[in-house]
Structure 1
Amino acid sequence: MKRLKIIAAGKVQGVAFRFFASNQANQWGLTGWVQNKPDGTVELEAQGEKDTLHQFLAFLENGPSPSSRTDELVHYEIDVKENEQRFSVRS
């Protein structure tokens, strides 16, 4: 089990990126959260098995639609959170 902090930059706000990420994370059994940041980036924490997290990163790079664009996807490992139940969208 691993947990990643992820920052997505590009055209990632106003294109349903948070809901796109949340839906896929829940389908793949990941836990964590996603939220828009004031600087125009989207911040995520995702927790799950290593291979699933790598698939999730590749999925995020493609974005939810042709109107979105992920220019940069920075990620690093952080501490696992025990007893987390789901992946949520934060305001």
Structure 2
Amino acid sequence: MGSIFNDFLAQRDNNSKGEIIYTNDSPKDTATQKIRAEISGRVQGVGFRFSTKQAADELGVKGIVRNEADGTVYVEATSDKKHLDQFIELLRKGPSPAAVVEKVVVTYDEKIEEKSNFSQVN
């Protein structure tokens, strides 16, 4: 992933990284993995959805990102394990410079509908 995101993430303060909480184990025998994630912290009104979409497009991750009424951001994502792991790490660090991620709660969910691209949902 050679992009402005690499430069930005390399400069992030380690204290601004949120924790990742996995609610279940990743499936072992599937080429495509599917997750839903709830990101909390200062993640609304800071370009989080926009930068999440850019990162997903760059990694080839498909899915959606949307703001929730409780101040969190919700993500559904599908990809191979390598790219999905990179995407989750990006969510943890906060793809937007103004974001401060406290935690990312990740659930593997094979029932998530596969999308043809990654989009922001209002």
TM surpasses 0.5? yes
Task: Please state which structure has a larger fraction of its residues in strand.
Answer: 1
- Tell me by how many angstroms 1:81 deviates: 2.8
% identity of equivalent residues: 33
Number of equivalences = 89
Residue of structure 2 aligned with 1:38, choices 62, 66, 69: 69
Residue of structure 2 aligned with 1:73, choices 90, 97, 104: 104
| Higher relative contact order (CA closer than 8 Å, sequence separation 6+) | 1
TM-score normalized by the length of structure 1: 0.92
- Give the stretch that moved more between structures: 72-81 or 27-36: 72-81
| 2:39 is the alignment partner of 1:8 | yes
Structure 1 gap segments, 5+ residues each: none
Give the root-mean-square deviation of aligned CA atoms: 1.0
Deviation by residue 1:28-81 (Cα, 9 ceiling, x = unmatched) = 11110000000000000000001111111111111110x310001000111253
Larger radius of gyration: 2
Structure 2 gap segments, 5+ residues each: 1-31
- 3-state DSSP class of the match of 1:5? strand
- 3-state DSSP class of the match of 2:77? strand
- Tell me by how many angstroms 1:18 deviates: 0.4
**Deviation beyond 2 Å, 4+ runs, structure 1:** none
Deviation by residue 1:12-39 (Cα, 9 ceiling, x = unmatched) = 0010000111111011111100000000
| 2:95 is the alignment partner of 1:59 | no
